[in-house]
Amino acid sequence: MTNLQQIFSDTSGNPTFHKSLLTKYPTVSINPNIQGGWPVIKGTRVTTIDIFRAIIKGHSPESIILQFKEMGVSLNKDQLDNAFRFSLEWLYFLHAKREKKATK
C-alpha cells in the first residue's frame, strides 16, 4: 500500500470519503471499476488526487489541461477546480475523522 493509500483508505484499501462530497462536486465520480474506486473527474480516468498534486506542485490549470490534451483527455478549468476542491475537503474529512478517533 502506498503512502497515499494509507492516508486515504480504510483498512481494506478502499478509499474512505463522505458521500456528500459527490453531491457537492458533481464533476467527480467514484466507481469501483475505474481506478480502483478512487475519485476521478467524471468521464475520465484522471484521479482528483493527481490534479491536487499537480496544482500543489505549481502547475497552472492551463499547463495541466494541455498535458492531458496531449494524451487525448479533454479537461477544463471547472473540472480541475472541482477536483482540487474535492481533494481539499476530502483531506479535511479524513483529518477530522482521524482526530475524532484519536480523542476516543
The answer to whether residue 68 is domain-embedded is yes
pLDDT score at 44: 97
pLDDT score at 1: 41
**CA of 33: how far to CAs of 9, 38, 40, 45, 56, in Å?**
16, 9, 11, 10, 27
pTM tops 0.85, yes or no: no
Residues lower than pLDDT 70 in the chain? 1-18, 104
With CA atoms as reference, report the closest residue to 52 among 66, 41, 67, 36.
41
Task: For residues 93 and 102, give the distance between their C-alpha atoms in angstroms, rounded to a whole number.
Answer: 14
CATH of residue 82: 1.10.10.10
Number of domains in the chain: 1
pLDDT score at 29: 93
Q: Which domain does 90 fall in, by range?
A: 15-94
